[in-house]
Structure 1
Amino acid sequence: MMPAASPVRQIVFAVAPHLVLLDACGPLEAFWRAELEMRQACRSADGEPVAYRTRVASIEGGTLPTHVGLPVVVERLDALDDEPIDTVIVAGTFECDRMVLDPKLVQWLEHAAPRIRRVCSVCVGAFYLAAAGLLDGRRATTHWRSADELARNFPSIEVDADPIFIRDVHDGRAVWTSAGVTAGIDLALALIEEDFGHAIAMQAARRLVVFMKRPGGQSQFSATLDVQHGAAGEFDALHAWMATNLRDDLSVDRLADHARMSARTFARRYVEAVGRTPGKTVEALRLEAAARALAQSRRPMKRIALDCGFGTEQNLRRAFVRRFGVPPLSYRDRFAPLTAGGEQGKRDRAGPT
């Protein structure tokens, strides 16, 4: 049975040797920035925490090596067994080839999870949750490079390599998994929002100079980088031209003409080189540009639809809902940065309601 919720939420980072430092430090900073915001709202400058108490602990405790060579001093996990833990976050470790798990950390998670309200992972920390049986029958993500291994080793999990993070609710219990490295910050901001609301989360993001709090449904991949990598250089010049001419006619015939090929030859060679049709690439580039415009500007929807090549607001809305699961204005309302004159800034400066 879970303990009664405490006004101050204790967040425990469960870590292992060769910790990926940013997997823990990024979320730690986010929680601390939220703590500062909550102290300001409560007019409590110093002293005991008012929102979060964070701990970093491993099985052995003491000095823990990290993959960048900077050792950190951590507590022992078993020293926290009698304390109320609200959230545990398993940070990732650096593995060049294949994940090797610490069985004692897996056992600790199996034992501790039933009394913890919220269990999360960053990057390949998902392997620990999986080994402890905490992801069975759930949808989960991890760093895209490790997704196939996670799916292969734990076939009961629905592994989705695309999202930044996933909140999966099963039998009334939510388990959170995130992609690699900086995605841990996005995860932490989402947890803060769940705990204390949108305004506090966005103020924490502002303190971190994170200009856009990415949604869980946003891809780990940049459309521009993805097509460049897939094409192995053959269509780099074409992709650069496409990205700067999104509002123009980007039909197969026009692209083939720009590439100086027949339409049939171009379509065949493009799929062979990039792994998707030209039309899919055009839509991905346009959606990425529209998402960036929505998050970083207050331009009208009609103007964004024209500038990004969708023609009409209706076309933009359909494509956006199909890809991100939310309409464009909802995306902007939730993920736009704080600006001096924008409505988002006005709401957040007013503080929590």
Structure 2
Amino acid sequence: MALKSHATIIDDVQSLLGSNTTDFTDAILTTRIAEGLNELSQYSPHIVRETIAATEDSKELDINSVKDLLWIDALEFRVDEEDREWRNFIEYFHNMISMEIGFYPSDTDSGIDTDEALDASETGVDCDADASDAIDVGDIIKIESELMYVTAVSATSPYPLTVVRGYGGTTATTHVTDSDIEIPEKVYLYCAKAHKVPVVSDLAGAATAGYTAGVITINVDGLSTTGTLETGSTFTVASDGTNTHYTLIQDTVLSGGAGDLVFTPALAEAISEDDVVTLDNSTLTPMLETLLIDLVAARAAISISTKFINTVATGGVDVWRDYLTWGTTLLGLTLRKLENEARKYQKPYKILPRI
């Protein structure tokens, strides 16, 4: 669990740099921290599980909808089996994956059809029969070429499904009555992403309404008045007995301390209005926090050294060289430690053969 907030990390970096807040202002270090997170994540990334739909009769997966992707660390297909089914894959051009499997994915006909025409914005899909035995919360369904994510299933006529439209990068469009509702197979992608440290000061808020398990959007207030919660930031819900850390899959722009959090995985348990929602200080471990502070301080010292070339500062004519030497030495030590951290990410599982 992360121990330090963004403000505390800035204080620690400034302390390493001799408490020089004139050259190393909060604004400058905020930029350096963002750069440092990207560099650190190349060694020891934040791993996020993304659920995407396989395409029927194709081993190819479109990953354009995965945001802020550094690389795919692992792939699981088929999913939710007693023995995890890890697969080899080839990634092409950062937007396509080919699974190394000896069969083709297939869609399942749910046996349920739409009982109304749909426009491109409706999030309630009336069904011609009770879909609760065929379709579960958290399923991805397909109507024609559009994917939808199911957040609620009703067993009461007109048996509506509550859905997120245009899921997985597909386009929300119109559909006629009696359209087949199909269920594509799921693929779990374990995605390496850059770590995040929220810049906002108020990290604890509250749900503005009650929400059922399975939703992927909740509204929260009581946070910082303004600011942006970046994609990849994580949060917990105090009443959630699963202790799940949810990851934002799109930026949340706060207004009046409130905003919609859109996240993965889906909400594990129902929550009530005013349940406490707390953003994590960061996605870093305590060790990575320490290395981030060292990395940012080293890069900042090297960068500032050029300011003192041909300048006689209080410390003499060698101030530029002192900053450069100190920063370069600390950088070398920090990068070696990051290389050691990277070795911890050996895949501890068996890859299935192409069958």
Same fold (TM over 0.5): no
Which of the pair has more CA radius of gyration?
2
Q: Considering Cα pairs closer than 8 Å and 6+ residues apart, tell me whether 1 or 2 has the greater RCO.
A: 2
- Which has the larger share of strand? 2
**With structure 2 as the length reference, what TM-score do the two structures score?**
0.28
**With structure 1 as the length reference, what TM-score do the two structures score?**
0.28
